[in-house]
Amino acid sequence: MLRTYADRLPNNGECEMKFRMRLLSSAVLIGALAACGGGNDDDDGDATPSSVSLSLLGRYSSGQFDAAAAEIPAFDADSQRGFVVNAQAGVLDVLDLSDPSMPVRLASIDANAIAAGATVNSVAIANGVIAVAIQAAVKTDPGFVGFYRADDLSAIGSVKVGALPDMLIFTPDGRKVLVANEGEPSDDYQTDPQGSISIVDVSDLADITVRTAGFTAFDADAAALRSAGVRIYGPGASVAQDLEPEYIAVSSDGATAWAVLQENNALARIDIATATVLEIKPLGFKDHGLADNGYGSSNAFDASDEEGGAINIRNWAGVRGLYHPDAIAAYSAGGQTYLVSANEGDARAWGEDNPAYWAGDTSLGFVEEFRVKHLVNATGFDVRAGDDLPPQLRALAAGALLNPVTFGYCGATVGNPGACRDDEQLGRLNVTWTMGFRTDAGGAPVLFDASGVENPAGDRLMYDALYSFGARSFSIRDEDGTLVFDSGDAIERFIASDACLAGADRDIACRDFFNSGHDEGDALDSRSDAKGPEPEGLAIGRIGDKTFLFLGLERMGGVLVYDITDPRAPVRIDYLNTREDWTTEDPGTVLATVGDLGPEGLAFISADDSPTGEPLLMVGNEVSGTTAIYRVERTF
């Protein structure tokens, strides 16, 4: 797209005014450009802004509500095309973005040409080559990666990879594609394929080869990994079967990769040259009892969706959040590599739609999620039998207690959880029953009687801690996986504040819809008992000498923007949530005007690559089925 000299100027009023004075003298013009952070290059993409903000530029709507019709986006600069995963249709939608204010669908790439009944899960682009992660019709079967040319959409070829390829990424030089093969079990947990990382060499498109970085070398280390904090807990699973790679980040030199093992709450480090998993590191947990988390905020959160519309962000001693990241990305700062993660949280829930599982057949599934009030009911588990009582939990004991030393603040006493299980306290919070109860040196449960006295003949578990899903935050870690920053309760605090305004025109008070869901209207506080605003997707963009994080909140919606140039001191600088209708019971009935719901994937487009000469952000919204194009407006 041809751009005028004026188009290349930084987008702010002061610079525009100075440009309008260009006829006064060439010296004035040169001075104006320098003052705005520009120069005499054809593009100001390398200029360092003092800040950035988002505004809605354009939107493409698939017309499909809550059907995963717009998930992961990618952009090809040469063809000026956007590519968006439409999982509902099993295709990759191709959008003309030469005018990003009016995206137009040109065509679709159908994965069924590679495998009948296949599902498209992810997309990545480099050097004009599109890589598409394709899940087999039976998700436990090996999947595929298909390759296409971005300019004419012609097929290059495909290769077979591991089961359920869920995400893929090119190395910076575009010569390799890394694929996270999640290897989820079948719904009844009878088939559990191994998780793995496929490394696909595309340096010669006529001879595409695949190597696998697997986890079988760690099978003998199951006990040590569990002791270190890696969650290996699937029924009968080996380490390789239990580990489920979710998302991959790659170092700037293309030598090292890191894969999030989401359900396992762990991080794998991979040597790309040798296709070897070097180590598996636990991510630890977030102590929600800390009023000062050491990173400038508290670890408080709102634990209940039944408070009469009240927002109650507070600390909860004994409650721990499992980070469980979804998206992860790498960037460089001060000559070091840092990893940014969106700490979504995810529970294993298989067989939950099978009545026979809830009737007690442990061979037909595995569900780890349970509300606190059901877990520590003084009368025992059987009051939930046939409803939502996981049979594996019932096989462990007949009931559970809360340690009164830890949970006395909310009413727990010896043998009775008291008010801790009230809906306004911790009762509604979803936690995993697989962690937090007292065990002996061998890992077996220490049993108590119903009165709270330790007794080998007892039938009660004793929970010293409760583990919830996700950390409701984003984190930054160094390349060894050591935490250097966590946003604590800052996201929920911001949404609850007067400073947070939603809508494309920023005229809707966020606090009136705090922790809302993405598929329902008038849902104030509905997600507080689960994972809160649920940070899930992210993208990183470098503009000049600064690095910015764009963080999507899946449930609350919208994109938070942070300056993360200093990884130990990120600064929030903007939030845009283009949802317009928050009260219609079923947003699908007003899909044309509701706005964007459920951001899933994000892609940053640099000024140099952008059709407008300014940075852009693509966001795939899986619930509204829309692909939003945001302008990243720079202030100099």
Q: Where is pLDDT greater, at 392 or 36? A: 392
302 inside domain:
no
Same domain, 157 and 270: yes
pLDDT digits (tens, 9 = 90+) for 508-557: 999 999 999 999 999 999 999 999 999 999 999 999 999 999 999 999 99
Find the mean pLDDT for residues 292-318: 96
- Tens-place pLDDT, residues 424-459: 999 999 999 999 999 999 899 999 999 999 999 999
The average pLDDT across 109-124 equals 94
Q: Could you read off the pLDDT of 497-522 as tens digits, one per residue?
A: 999 999 999 999 999 999 999 999 99
pLDDT higher than 80, residue 290 = yes
Residue 56 and residue 178 share a domain? yes
Q: Is position 316 within any domain?
A: no
Which pLDDT score is estimated for 36? 36
For residues 355 and 338, give the distance between their C-alpha atoms in angstroms, rounded to a whole number: 45
Q: Is the pLDDT of residue 80 over 80?
A: yes
Do residues 245 and 233 lie in contact, with contact meaning Cβ atoms separated by under 8 Å?
no
For strand 460-463 and strand 399-402, is the pairing parallel, antiparallel, or unpaired? Answer: parallel
Q: What is the mean pLDDT of residues 8-21?
A: 36
3-state secondary structure 433-489: CCCCECECCCCCECCECCCCCECCCCCEEEECCEEEECCCCEEEEECCCCEEEECCC
Residues 485 and 504 in one domain: yes
φ, ψ dihedrals at 315, nearest 5°: -80, 145
Q: Considering 414, 437, 468, which residue would you say is the last residue of a domain?
A: 468
When pLDDT is averaged across residues 21-50 and rounded to a whole number, the result is 45
Nearest of 337, 282, 614 to residue 478 by alpha carbon: 337
Structural domain contains residue 340: yes
Give the pLDDT score at 21: 32
Q: Which helix (H) or strand (E) holds 152?
A: none
Q: How many other C-beta atoms lie within 10 A of the C-beta of residue 247? A: 25
Q: What percent of the chain has pLDDT over 70?
A: 93
Residue 46 pLDDT class (50, 70, 90 cuts): confident
- pLDDT, one tens digit per residue, over 599-636 is 999 999 999 999 999 999 999 999 999 999 999 999 99
For residue 292, tell me if it sits in a domain.
Answer: no
Q: What pLDDT sits at residue 45?
A: 59
Q: Sign of the CA dihedral 407, 413, 417, 421?
A: negative
Whether residues 475 and 454 share a domain: the answer is no
Query: Looking at residues 136-156, what average pLDDT do you find?
Result: 97
Residue 517 and residue 435 share a domain: no
CB 228: neighbour CB atoms within 10 A? 13
pLDDT value of residue 18: 34
CB 534 within 8 A of CB 599: no
Contacts within 8 Å (CB) and 24+ apart, 252-259: 252/172, 252/330, 252/331, 252/332, 252/337, 253/172, 254/171, 254/172, 254/173, 254/175, 254/176, 256/337, 256/479, 257/178, 257/197, 258/328, 258/330, 258/339, 258/479, 258/481, 259/180, 259/197
Are 462 and 525 found together in one domain?
no
CB contact at 8 A, 539 and 330:
no
Does some domain include residue 289?
no
Average pLDDT over residues 260-275: 98
Q: Which residue has the higher pLDDT, 39 or 184?
A: 184
pLDDT-based confidence at 43, cuts 50/70/90?
Answer: very low
| Confidence (pLDDT) at 30 | 31
Statement to judge: residues 476 and 612 lie in one domain: yes
What is the torsional sign of CA 349, 483, 621, 150? Answer: negative
pTM for the structure as a whole: 0.93
pLDDT band at 129 (very low <50, low <70, confident <90, very high): very high
Q: Tell me the CA end-to-end span of the chain in Å, nearest whole number.
A: 24
- Residue 29 belongs to some domain of the structure: yes
What pLDDT sits at residue 88?
Answer: 82
- Residues 338, 485: contact at Cβ < 8 Å? no
Nearest-angstrom CA–CA distance, 60 and 368:
38
Which of 436, 468, 500 is the C-terminal boundary of a domain? 468
Q: Are residues 27 and 79 in the same domain?
A: no
Q: Tell me whether residue 295 is in a domain.
A: no
Spatial CA neighbour of 623 closest among 88, 69, 89, 72 = 69
% helix, strand, coil for the chain, step of 5: 15, 35, 50
Count up the domains in the chain and report the number.
3
Is the pLDDT at 73 greater than 60? The verdict is yes
CA dist., res. 359 & res. 337, Å (int): 50
Kindly tell me the sign of the dihedral angle through the C-alpha atoms of 189, 367, 66, 120: negative
Does residue 244 lie within any of the structural domains? Answer: yes
Confidence at 332, pLDDT banded by 50, 70, 90: very high
3-state secondary structure 172-227: CCCCEEEEEECCCCCCCCCCCCCCEEEEEECCCCCCCEEEEEECHHHHHHHHHHHH
**Is the same domain home to 451 and 528?**
no
Q: Is residue 394 domain-shared with residue 512, that is, in the same domain?
A: no
Mean pLDDT, the chain, rounded, equals 93
- What is the per-residue pLDDT across 342-367, written as a single tens digit (0 to 9) for each? 999 999 999 999 999 999 999 999 99
Pull the structure tokens for residue 546: 């600064």
pLDDT category at 107 given cuts 50, 70, 90 is: very high
What are phi and psi for residue 530, nearest 5 degrees? -110, -100
Range of the domain at 586: 52-284+323-346+470-635
Look up residue 10 and give its two tokens. Answer: 């930084």
369 and 433 together in one domain? yes
Claim to verify: residue 414 and residue 476 sit in the same structural domain: no
